[in-house]
Amino acid sequence: MSRSYKEIIRRMNEAYEEFGILISQETKKLDELDLTVQQEYMLSYIQRNKQTTANDIAADFGISKSAVSQVLSKLEKRDMITKQANPTNKREYFLALGNNGREYMDSLKQLDEILIDKYYSKIDLEELHQMTKTMVRINNVIREQKK
């Protein structure tokens, strides 16, 4: 592997870590909810994918159904998610955000607004677009390699 790739990725990772540290003051309210990264990702996934199931999450996250069930059980106990029976398959249930899950996602939306007002709006829109485009391309490469 080219040394320049390693150097760029090292710098990218350092920048990402520093970003997390720099915005930690704004994220304190969310940190108090004490969610794992995996729980946060599952909540976001459930919000984006209506009528999703535990099997869908297991397949898309590349983890076992058992692991998904454990995480979902914890989220359900905290009213972060709810389960609704699939009318066409009684052995399956659809996942939706619970009251606390909706509040959490609303807090994320509010955080985005704060970050846009304070920081992101100081960056040229085209630069942010290019950064997003690059991330999407990296994600697509990863998806293709996993096939």
What confidence tens digit (pLDDT) does each residue in 9-21 have? 999 999 999 998 9
Residue 13 falls inside a structural domain: no
Q: What is the CATH number of the domain that holds 101?
A: 1.10.10.10
Given a contact cutoff of 8 angstroms between Cβ atoms, the answer to whether 4 and 12 are in contact is no
Given a contact cutoff of 8 angstroms between Cβ atoms, the answer to whether 54 and 68 are in contact is yes
Residue 77 falls inside a structural domain: yes
Q: Quote the domain boundaries for residue 78.
A: 30-146
Residue 124 falls inside a structural domain: yes
Q: Which residue has the tokens 């898309």?
A: 60
Residue 20 falls inside a structural domain: no
* Predicted confidence band of residue 1 (pLDDT cuts 50, 70, 90): low
CA–CA gap between residue 135 and residue 147 (Å, rounded): 19
- Condensed to tens digits (0 to 9), the pLDDT of residues 60-103 reads 999 999 999 999 999 999 999 999 998 888 888 999 999 999 99
CA–CA gap between residue 30 and residue 108 (Å, rounded): 8
Burial label for 96, CB within 10 Å (0-12, 13-18, 19+), is middle
Burial label for 133, CB within 10 Å (0-12, 13-18, 19+), is exposed
> Among the residues of 23-64, which ranges form H helices?
28-31, 37-48, 54-61
Q: How many independent structural domains does the chain possess?
A: 1
Residue 34 falls inside a structural domain: yes
Q: Which residue has the higher pLDDT, 12 or 30?
A: 12
Residue 14 falls inside a structural domain: no
The DSSP code for 123 is S
Residue 47 falls inside a structural domain: yes
Three-state DSSP state, 90: strand
Residue 119 falls inside a structural domain: yes
CA distances from 28 to 15, 48, 98, 137 (A): 20, 24, 22, 31
Rounded to 5°, angle at Cα 74 from 71 and 79: 125
When pLDDT is averaged across residues 122-138 and rounded to a whole number, the result is 96
